[in-house]
Amino acid sequence: MSDPSEIDVSLLTNEQAKAELKRLAELMAHHDQLYHTNDAPEISDAEYDALKRRNLEIETRFPDLKLENSPSDKVGAPVASGFSKISHNVAMLSLDNAFNDQDVRDFAARIRRFLSLGASDKVALTAEPKIDGLSMSLRYENGTLVSAATRGDGAVGENVTANVKTISEIPQQLPENANVPEIVEIRGEVYMRRDDFFALNEKQAELGKQIYVNPRNTAAGSLRQLNAKITASRPLKFFAYAWGEVAPEMPATTQMGMVELYKSWGFSVNPLMQRFDDIEALLQHYAKIEEERPELPYDIDGVVYKVDDLALQARLGFISRSPRWAIAHKFPAEKASTILKDIDIQVGRTGALTPVARLEPVTVGGVVVTNATLHNAEELERLGVKIGDTVRIERAGDVIPKVLEVVSSPDDAVEFEFPKTCPCDLKSEVVQEKTASGAAGVIRRCSGEFACPYQRKEHLKHFVSRKAFDIDGLGEKQIEYFYQDESLYINSPADIFTLSKRDQTNFTKLKNRDGYGDLSAQKLFDAIEDKRTIPLAKLIFALGIRHVGEATGKTLAGAYLNWASFEEAIMSIISGDEAALQELLALDDIGPAVVDAMRQFFERDDNRKMVDDLIAELNILDAEAPSADSPVAGQTVVFTGKLERMSRDEAKAMAEQLGAKVAGSISKKTDLLVAGPGAGSKLKKATDLGIKTITEDEWFTLIGRD
């Protein structure tokens, strides 16, 4: 057989393409190591780009063979394995995004609603440029820099303390008698100015070394050098703008006040940061920064707004992994035109069929784009897009590129017919989803559920994902490997936990495979064994039921506490138990769509068998009962009527912080009704059921906040 590296992409077979993608990934990883970590590249930029282009072309032609850690998905420097890890005592959260002025107005309106503010009440917001760099957390104890960590996954980052100490703009000792807390984690962005970046590239060119792509990636790669001397040679800068852990108390009461303190402590803060109590003035400032963007000495990709008052920040709290009190107003997406070469159908974990445009590679915002979503059949029809058309695409930040419109269509352009059967071998019927009102929806789904090989494989990938079972050494790439290998077949979640005990035959086979030796095979089996014990919330989320995300999994676990109770409730609902149904619907954030999805999932015999086989292999940890440290801990509370001292959202957040469960309707399980003026049917039903009812003022007295 010919060497795959010498064969034109259009002539590669499936097996040759698979081998070539593996070769390219290994070769590019080798050159990435030389370039990013050792700072000693062996090949030119043009030669590296040729490898990358070939990799992209193969992935475009064989999308199902794309590797989990494909070189085409890498942006910036890779994480160096030589760094130890640091856990963040206060998580480094991401921000929600706003993409237009109305999004910002809606953000401000949500804040006002949450805080129950009147029309005359002012809420000041700060506005500062969103630096395109690498997030950093600096920990000072008694004024001395003791550690520095990257964001990582938000909970754990890389320990880059030695490298950070080489950055002149980061003080290693804070001034005495300057209102510095005993412990303070100062957060901000490590970046590289454009002029420094260009000067560095000139120096690289003079030395015949690799030319860097952009300041952000160069700053990230420079900071992640295992050799701190290399970092010291790079002109890195730092803007301070946020904080993590602070003890014993905050030294300021506002966002602006904290940033001004940072400046007095010797940190660089952004001079464009301003405070506004008028949304239109805030948006004018955004427009001014966008206009000045090309002239700034550093790269930015938007403006960040934050509630200035720290007490209001505390009241607003967080939603999932982002704060309610801050948002990033991104600059408009970048656009480009290219040729649509083909349209493929991808089948997702929930069976949704998504048309994907395969494009002639084009650079948009510094990233090579080869694929773009077409969303659904209705969008295809609306755009009137055909294979062979020249189309305009848009990419905004990390959002998946999308096709905006058809620029031109040649005479030989080919119309695309949306399939009526799934592309899998089963050819299951494709059904059109219905909306809550019963009308036809825009989503078309494969009806095969777990029997569909596409859905089954995606279910398995979801099952082992980080927020689900998170089995070390068993990710998407390994699932692909085991799914395709008949002798090591993983066809369902339970197969994962029987892998090591199938007559010990698989151990012999596994350790003789590429990449597995005695030690690595045993490590995998040990990691699987370690995850036999799983919290209930993670198990419910890992099942991959449509509409049941991580937060819903936690809600269900908190309500039913153990697997037996959860399973009994679902099976009772399937059998027509109205009381069980109403109890489930009374849970906060559980609506008819979630209930229908769970009912449909557990009604299918193949899904039931899959779940039963899995449960037999697991030790499921019960959810923790709510803390008994407050007078409402463990109680189910319902709020009704007009609340005058707090908004409904704030009331819910307050009750949950006190260990209570907040429901949206009255049932026999309700312990307490908090009724404001105008309470209607809920108050009557609570009275009929003998449920304790109190006023809003009595609520504050009860929880000790009167």
Spatial separation of the C-alpha atoms in residues 126 and 282, rounded to whole Å? 8
Alpha-carbon torsion (170, 172, 174, 175), positive or negative: negative
Class of domain 333-447: mainly beta
85 has pLDDT over 80: yes
Backbone angles phi, psi at 581, to 5 degrees: -65, -45
Angle between helices 101-114 and 279-292 (to 10 degrees): 140
507 has pLDDT over 60: no
309 has pLDDT over 90: yes
Spatial separation of the C-alpha atoms in residues 197 and 234, rounded to whole Å? 9
Give me the chain's average pLDDT, please.
Answer: 84
pLDDT score for 260? 96
User: Which three-class secondary structure string do you get for 20-61?
Assistant: HHHHHHHHHHHHHHHHHHCCCCCCCHHHHHHHHHHHHHHHHH
Q: What is the dihedral of CA 86, 88, 91, 94, to 10 degrees?
A: -40
Instruction: Characterize 275-291 residue by residue with b for buried, 16 or more Cβ atoms within 10 angstroms of its Cβ, and e for exposed.
Output: bbeebeebbebbeebbe
Alpha helices in 340-452 (DSSP H): 377-383
| Domains 333-447 and 449-531 are alike in CATH topology | no
**CATH tag, 536-621:** 1.10.150.20
Using 50, 70 and 90 to split pLDDT, how confident is the model at 558? confident
Out of 305-309, 332-336, 601-605, 661-665, pick the least confident: 332-336
Spatial separation of the C-alpha atoms in residues 192 and 223, rounded to whole Å? 11
pLDDT score for 93? 85
Percentage of the chain modeled with pLDDT above 90: 35
DSSP of 434-485, one letter per residue?
E-TTS-EEEEEEETTGGGSHHHHHHHHHHHTSTTTT--TT-SHHHHHHHHH-
Architecture of the domain defined by 4-73? Orthogonal Bundle (1.10)
Architecture of the domain defined by 636-702? 3-Layer(aba) Sandwich (3.40)
Locate tokens 């003890």: which residue?
A: 247
Better-predicted residue by pLDDT, 75 or 301: 301
682 is catalytic: no
How buried is 43 (Cβ within 10 angstroms: 0-12 exposed, 13-18 middle, 19+ buried)? Answer: middle
Indicate the helix (H) or strand (E) that contains 598: helix 592-603
pTM over 0.85: no
Pick the most confident of 103-107, 649-653, 658-662.
103-107
Q: Catalytic: which of 22, 74, 85, 130?
A: 130
Q: Where are the domains of the chain?
A: 4-73, 85-330, 333-447, 449-531, 536-621, 636-702
Q: Which two tokens stand for residue 63?
A: 């999308």
Out of 221-235, 237-251, 479-493, 691-705, pick the least confident: 479-493
| 343 DSSP β-pair partners | 357
Backbone angles phi, psi at 281, to 5 degrees: -65, -35
- Place domain 449-531 in its CATH homologous superfamily: 5' to 3' exonuclease, C-terminal subdomain (1.10.150.20)
Spatial separation of the C-alpha atoms in residues 679 and 156, rounded to whole Å? 46
Spatial separation of the C-alpha atoms in residues 232 and 135, rounded to whole Å? 18
pLDDT score for 246? 96
Angle at 529 between CA 525 and CA 534, to 5 degrees: 140
2 has pLDDT over 60: no
Spatial separation of the C-alpha atoms in residues 167 and 392, rounded to whole Å? 42
Cβ-contact 140, 184 below 8 angstroms: yes
354 has pLDDT over 60: yes
191 has pLDDT over 60: yes
- The answer regarding whether domain 85-330 maps to CATH 3.30.470.30 reads yes
Residue 310: name the closest of 361, 365, 363, 261 by CA: 261
150 has pLDDT over 60: yes
Better-predicted residue by pLDDT, 305 or 677: 305
Residue 259: name the closest of 239, 237, 245 by CA: 239
